[in-house]
Structure formats: structure tokens, C-alpha cells
Amino acid sequence: MAVNNEQKQQSQTVEYVDLAHKTLLNSDALYKYILETSVFPREHPCLKELREMTEKHPKSLMAVPADEGQLISMLVKLMNANKTMEIGVYTGYSLLSTALALPSDGKVLAFDISREYYELGLPMIEKAGVLHKIDFREGYALHLLDELLQDENNKGTFDFVFVDADKNNYINYHKRVIDLVKVGGLIGYDNTLWSGSVAAPPDAPMIDIIRNLRDYVIELNKYLAQDSRIEICQLSVGDGITICRRID
Ligand code: SAM
Ligand code: CA
């Protein structure tokens, strides 16, 4: 069937505007299948409660989707991670996924400019019995990372770092986090496909938040691809997550 220009325009608009999609898969039915078959039946009850509470929050689109929480949990367990960091907590879906996956003496250092957001999910974190694994610090992540780097003892000690905050600072985060993660450790950068916009023509219709930060994400992807200190793997889970393994 012939598709006229107006129809094309409309379908492109839907593609880039509909942020409600927590996946880059083109089939809602397929994504629903994944969630209903492999993710929700195995979701910890406190994660489910946190997810459902977050869905009612006006900024709920910021939370990582449940299938990505499952990926983070798998990575933490595969690595036998004990010391991890998260930059960008919001209500804590990825944080609680990490804390549940860590051993009982494991620790996750978590940064967010908003303690208010973190406190929304705090009752579920407490209920899950993992609060003792979390060291939450309120503030600007760049500043907090610089503080950590002032102590040589922190360098090369983190097993896993998940970065999910202000996209315009990801390269700045990378320049710091690379010294904090151990050789063989992982860094996960979230939203590296940025609603698919990284591969869209510059004049494609996009909502402001996508357009305004798109160049930063494109620059990050180029930067990571040429950084010889890491091996990388770009996954299309969620909004795209780039897994970096420090090798040097
Ligand atoms: N990982 C979270 C989850 O699973 O729900 C989602 C994080 S949300 C996309 C981004 C968070 O980064 C927000 O809670 C925001 O307050 C925080 N943030 C934004 N800029 C920041 C900065 N400069 N330093 C620390 N946190 C920041
Ligand atoms: Ca994210």
C-alpha cells in the first residue's frame, strides 16, 4: 500500500514522540510477551510494589523498565559484585534491583540530586530488607565523584557502576568513573539509543527533551567506541544500555 508523505510524517512523529514506550522493540505485543512471560512472574514483590507506586508519579517515564532491572540484577550476580555505584536513583527501581542482587555484605553507593525521589521508594527498599546495603548521597554526581576521587583508596575498587542521570554529563561521568571501577569491572550507561533518535535524520520530528540531549548521547557513543580502556557492548534493552568493561 502506498504511504503518502503526510502518513509518513505522522508515523515518524509517533515513533519519536511516544516516550511511554519503555522499549525500542517495534512490537508492543512482543514486549508485553517478554514482560508477562519472563519478567513480571519473577519480579520481587517489593520491586513490583515500587514499580506500581512509581507508575502513578508524574515523572514515571524516568524509571528503568522491569526487563532492564532484570538485566542489571543478572550482571551484578554474574560478576559476584560486592561494591557498586548508581548515578541517578529516582524512586529506586534499578537501585532496589541492584541491592537485591548483591550479597548481604554488598554495598551500593547511590547518588541523586533529589532525596525526595529516593524517599518515595524507601518504604519498599526497607520492606525488602536491603536498606543496610545502600549508601544514598544527595547532591550533584560530578561533585560527589570528585570527592571520591580525592581519596586514592577509592580508585579501582567498584565492581559495577550504573549511570542513569543527566545525559549531558555522561562523558564527564565516564572520565571519573573509569578511575573508580576496577579493571575487569563494568560500567552501564543507560539511554544510549535515546528513543532511537541517535540514528534519526537531524530534521526528524522529536520532542524537545529528545532533540536537546540527542547530540550528547551521540557524542558519548562515539567517545565510548574509541576508548581503548574499555570493551563495549551496546544492548537495545530499555532505551539502550551500553555495557563497558574496563580492561586497562
Ligand atoms: N535509575 C532510575 C530508576 O531506575 O528509576 C532512574 C533515574 S532518572 C532517569 C534520573 C535521575 O537523575 C533523577 O532522579 C534526577 O534527580 C537525577 N539527576 C539528574 N541530574 C543529576 C545530577 N547532576 N547529579 C545527580 N543526580 C542527578
Ligand atoms: Ca534511564
What are the pLDDT digits (tens) for 28-51? Answer: 999 999 999 999 999 999 999 999
Atom 3 (ligand 1) nearest CA = 63
For residue 101, give the nearest of 179, 141, 158, 160 by alpha carbon: 160
pLDDT of 21 reads 61
Q: What is the pTM of this model?
A: 0.92
CA distances from 143 to 110, 117, 169 (A): 13, 19, 12
Task: Name the band, by pLDDT with cuts 50, 70 and 90, for residue 248.
Answer: confident
DSSP structure class, residue 196 = G
Distance 116 CA to ligand 1 centre (A): 12
Domains and CATH numbers, the chain: 27-246 (3.40.50.150)
Q: For residues 42 and 24, what is the distance between their CA atoms, to the nearest angstrom? A: 22
Amino acid at 197: S
Q: Which residues pair with 209 in a beta bridge?
A: none
Q: What is the pLDDT of residues 119-173, one digit of tens each?
A: 999 999 999 999 999 999 999 999 999 999 999 999 999 999 999 999 999 999 9
Q: What is the pLDDT of residues 64-95, one digit of tens each?
A: 999 999 999 999 999 999 999 999 999 999 99
Residue whose cell numbers read 540531549: 213
Is the shortest distance between the CB of 181 and ligand 1 below 6 Å? no
- This complex has an ipTM of 0.99
Distance 13 CA to ligand 2 centre (A): 21
